[in-house]
Amino acid sequence: MCAQESRYAVQVIFLLRFTAAGTAGATSHQALTGTLVPGAAVWLCCIVFAYLYNGVSDIGEDRANGSTRPIARGALPVRTARRACLLLVILAVTGGALLGPVMCTLTLCMLALGYGYSAPAFALKRTTPGAMFAVLGSGILTYLAGATSGAGHFPPAFVAFALAMCLWMALVGAVTKDSSDTEGDARHGRRNWTLQWGSFRTALLVTVCSLAIGVSLAVTAALLSASGLFAPAVTVLCGAFALSAAALTARRDASRGRRRLPYRIFMVTQYTAHLALLAQLII
């Protein structure tokens, strides 16, 4: 139940980011270091903690929005989730320390960011800029942790890819994730851009940002003559067009599933872009 609360799709995409950074610059799977898998396990503990603790703190909003997450529907007791959070922190810190001072520092930063996103004293989740900060930070930390556990360096093409994906997370994902939950969020004090600016103006912003990221990555791939970057760039650009169309045509009275479509396209684009990048290592 704890893993389900933490959303399998989110866990996998963070592992893909981590693995992409850890394998950047490697010419084959045989060049990978032995700390990549232990590092990924430590990072997974951080991610599950962040989203599990978010489920504990979001119980009111989730129930108001009709969420089927285990804590919201009563399948996972809050007390059990809190204990699991503590265990995950212990495992993450211990594992990070065993992997060295750099990994330990990155682990502590990620745990702090995950806590700050949901904790009432900080609640970065309450505003879109706060969510952007948390999402951008989690992306940067994940790529750095992957590099620390794996290849240890970033070729220019991967730097461009990682930067584009971090911006994709912050400027697209952090905005679209709240588009389907405005009613419950408003009742519980959140002030995201969809509530403040309206759905259409927010959709326009998402459209501009997503297309700018897609075009910029494609242009960068051409300028660097980075053949390995072409497939991810095309993927992101296609995803940007699809997401823009979904966001601009969404109606306020549409079903929750339809209003959530832009976020789902955002997620699928991330998955496909990272898989396109990693597939080249196998091929």
- For residues 29 and 281, the answer to whether their CB atoms sit within 8 Å is yes
Asked whether the whole model's pTM tops 0.85, one would answer yes
Mean pLDDT lowest among 25-39, 93-107, 142-156: 25-39
pLDDT in tens, 218-240: 999 999 988 889 999 999 999 99
Assigned token pair, 128: 């879109």
**Which CATH class, in words, describes the domain spanning 1-154?**
mainly alpha
Better-predicted residue by pLDDT, 274 or 150 = 274
**Residue 178 banded pLDDT, cuts 50, 70, 90:** confident
Residue type, 145: A
Q: Which residues contact 145 (CB under 8 A, 6 or more apart)?
A: 18, 21, 39, 43, 103, 106, 107, 110
Q: What is the mean pLDDT of residues 258-275?
A: 92
- Going by pLDDT thresholds of 50, 70 and 90, the confidence category of residue 105 is very high
DSSP class of 191: B
pLDDT value at residue 180: 60
- pLDDT tier at 155, thresholds 50, 70, 90: confident
In three-state form (DSSP H/G/I as H, E/B as E, the rest C), the secondary structure along 100-156 is CHHHHHHHHHHHHHHHHHHCCCCCHHHEHHHHHHHHHHHHHHHHHHHHHHCCCCCCH
Query: Per-residue pLDDT for 102 more than 90?
Result: yes
What pLDDT sits at residue 81? Answer: 86
b or e along 48-59 (b: 16 or more beta carbons within 10 Å of the residue's beta carbon)? Answer: bbbbbbbbbbbb
Q: Mean pLDDT across the stretch 195-211? A: 88
Sequence spans of domains, the chain: 1-154, 155-282
pLDDT: is 16 or 182 the higher one? 16
Q: Does the pLDDT at position 53 exceed 70?
A: yes
Q: Percent of the chain having pLDDT more than 70?
A: 87
Termini Cα distance of the chain: 36
